[in-house]
């Protein structure tokens, strides 16, 4: 005798009386049993619509290039813990990136290959789509070698928060590689790949580039599509190139830049042939040395001096170099922090990676997997715990007014930089106040752990909220560790940054400057 057929469970169940009454209390409603039952009845149409939606195939871009799953990087072949996953994907037969090897920061989706974004709570997730920039790299003939470790949910400017252990600086084991694109910069600096993709919401391309001695470009917001990359906060999400020289950096940006029709962060991006605009030298450029970028409370005098020597070299190369002052640069952190604390909490954590109210490409498999962090929150890094706790506290007690005010003031901060950039072509300052430091030892206090994760981004984070292009250029060594100089330009004026960086690079070996 056969058993009776059973209907499959619906994707979205009708809420119970207790569930509706509990949710009512959470949003401030007092519901009687009859009220709750009435609302449950009214929700029947919605429940049916959701279950109909669940049966429809998702509308995701096709995967163009074949690949295998690859394998987790072996520890004996991963001395700096910079690799997460090795998976070779060959691109087109021809193109501007032919012969170049590329590592992807492990917040970038590579279909069929695991992505953990530095966090134990995401371990085991495998995306089914390629990020737009992945397809563009492969269309340009590049060869992707795998995924580079990054910091836990990219919430650190140090390299000690990844759930698998720290990423070491190739110049000195046990020292920070910077973050959050720690593995990307370390792999380029160690010569294991030609190029890498990084992400930058507070300095996460530029800080590791400064610490590792690579060239890292955070282009104008929206120039590079963020589609298929784990978001933090849409107003500050950036992706971009980390390379061992300026020409490769310009070439990679050229390959990945431009609107994709999916990313709402993109608003009329102006793409240019960057690799063809490197020549011209420094002669005639007006460079403003930003007074407030130096002598900060946590600055190392030797780093400031290296960057001032770099500015003097620009003068020798024919640039007009002089000091400029933008006092608002010193209070930019008060504008940045509400955006990252509240925005990252609302979008990345409580919003399951995406949040709502924008016309993005939502990778719903990621949202479904990532929402499980709530059941294993103790595994989160101390930095992510801090962001989530404080962002949730502010929202619960004060609402969203401070986030809104920060966004408003970001326009004023943008105008302050723009006013000076109307008088000079570029701003120049240290990328980070200090060179790489030792990573916290086992058993370090939470205060030390968090402090080393956030205190290097004072001068990088302002340009995430103002959206100006900014590049870290290596300009010397102190005690065997690199120092980075940051060049900041007008919106969509990446060519001027590249022109200056290329002139500086051609003037001598930065390691001996």
- Catalytically active residues are 105, 180, 204
Q: Where are the alpha helices (DSSP H) in 107-205?
A: 132-139, 182-189
d(CA 26, CA 274): 53
d(CA 109, CA 119): 15
Output the CA torsion 442→443→448→449 (10° steps).
60
Give the residue from 454, 334, 345, 466 showing the smallest Cα distance to 402: 334
- Residue 367 burial by Cβ neighbours in a 10 Å radius (0-12, 13-18, 19+): middle
Give the residue from 181, 183, 203, 179 showing the smallest Cα distance to 192: 183
d(CA 220, CA 464): 9
d(CA 459, CA 434): 11
Maximum alpha-carbon separation in the chain: 93
190's tokens: 């160690």
Q: How distant, in Å, are the alpha carbons of 186, 325, 337, 429, 475 from that of 294?
A: 26, 11, 21, 7, 15
Query: CB of 161 within 8 A of CB of 152?
Result: yes
330's tokens: 């010193």
Q: How distant, in Å, are the alpha carbons of 104, 123, 330, 388, 436 from that of 158?
A: 18, 21, 21, 18, 9
d(CA 362, CA 340): 21
Q: How distant, in Å, are the alpha carbons of 295, 301, 311, 314, 477 from that of 308?
A: 12, 11, 5, 10, 13
Phi, psi (deg, nearest 5) at residue 319: -80, 155
Give the residue from 86, 102, 167 showing the smallest Cα distance to 135: 102
Which residues face 102 on adjacent strands? 144, 195
Give the residue from 464, 456, 465 showing the smallest Cα distance to 156: 456
Q: Could you tell me the sign of the dihedral formed by the alpha carbons of 463, 465, 468, 470, in that order?
A: positive
């Amino acid at each position: 005798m056969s058993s009776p057929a059973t209907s499959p469970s619906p994707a979205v169940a009708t809420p119970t009386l207790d569930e509706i009454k509990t949710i009512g209390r959470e949003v401030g409603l007092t519901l009687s049993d009859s009220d709750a039952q009435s609302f449950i009845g009214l929700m029947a149409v919605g429940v049916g619509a959701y279950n109909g939606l669940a049966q429809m195939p998702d509308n995701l871009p096709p995967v163009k290039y074949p690949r295998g799953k690859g394998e987790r990087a072996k520890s004996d072949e991963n001395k700096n813990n910079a690799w997460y996953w090795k998976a070779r994907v060959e691109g087109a037969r021809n193109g501007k990136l032919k012969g170049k090897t590329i590592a992807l920061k492990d917040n970038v989706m590579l279909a069929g290959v695991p992505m953990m974004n530095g966090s134990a709570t995401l371990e085991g997730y495998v995306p089914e789509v390629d990020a737009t920039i992945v397809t563009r790299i492969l269309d340009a003939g590049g060869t992707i070698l795998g995924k580079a470790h990054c910091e836990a949910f990219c919430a650190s400017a140090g390299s000690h928060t990844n759930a698998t252990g720290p990423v070491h600086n190739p110049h000195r084991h046990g020292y920070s590689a910077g973050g959050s694109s720690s593995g990307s910069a370390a792999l380029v600096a160690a010569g294991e790949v030609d190029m890498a993709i990084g992400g930058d919401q507070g300095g996460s391309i530029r800080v590791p580039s400064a610490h590792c001695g690579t060239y890292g470009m955070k282009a104008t917001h929206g120039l590079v599509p963020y589609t298929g990359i784990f978001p933090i906060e849409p107003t500050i999400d950036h992706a971009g190139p980390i390379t061992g020289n300026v020409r490769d950096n310009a070439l990679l940006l050229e390959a990945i830049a431009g609107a994709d029709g999916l990313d709402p962060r993109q608003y009329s991006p102006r793409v240019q042939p960057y690799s063809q605009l490197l020549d011209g030298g420094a002669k005639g450029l007006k460079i403003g040395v930003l007074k407030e970028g130096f002598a900060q409370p946590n600055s190392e005098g030797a780093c400031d001096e290296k960057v001032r020597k770099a500015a003097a070299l620009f003068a020798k190369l024919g640039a007009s170099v002089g000091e400029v002052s933008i006092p608002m640069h010193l209070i930019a952190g008060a504008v940045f922090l509400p955006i990252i604390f509240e925005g990252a909490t609302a979008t990345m954590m409580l919003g399951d990676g995406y949040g709502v109210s924008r016309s993005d490409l939502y990778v719903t498999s990621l949202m479904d997997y990532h929402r499980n962090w709530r059941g294993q929150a103790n595994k989160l890094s101390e930095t992510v715990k801090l962001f989530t706790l404080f962002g949730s506290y502010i929202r619960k007690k004060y609402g969203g007014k401070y986030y809104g005010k920060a966004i408003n003031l970001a326009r004023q901060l943008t105008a302050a930089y723009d006013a000076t950039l109307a008088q000079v072509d570029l701003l120049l300052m240290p990328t980070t106040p200090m060179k790489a430091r030792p990573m916290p030892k086992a058993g370090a206090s939470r205060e030390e752990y968090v402090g080393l994760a956030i205190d290097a981004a004072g001068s990088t984070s302002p340009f995430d909220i103002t959206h100006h292009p900014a590049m870290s250029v290596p300009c010397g060594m102190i005690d065997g560790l690199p120092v980075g100089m940051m060049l900041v330009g007008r919106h969509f004026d990446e060519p001027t940054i590249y022109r200056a960086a290329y002139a500086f690079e051609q003037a001598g070996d930065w390691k001996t400057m």
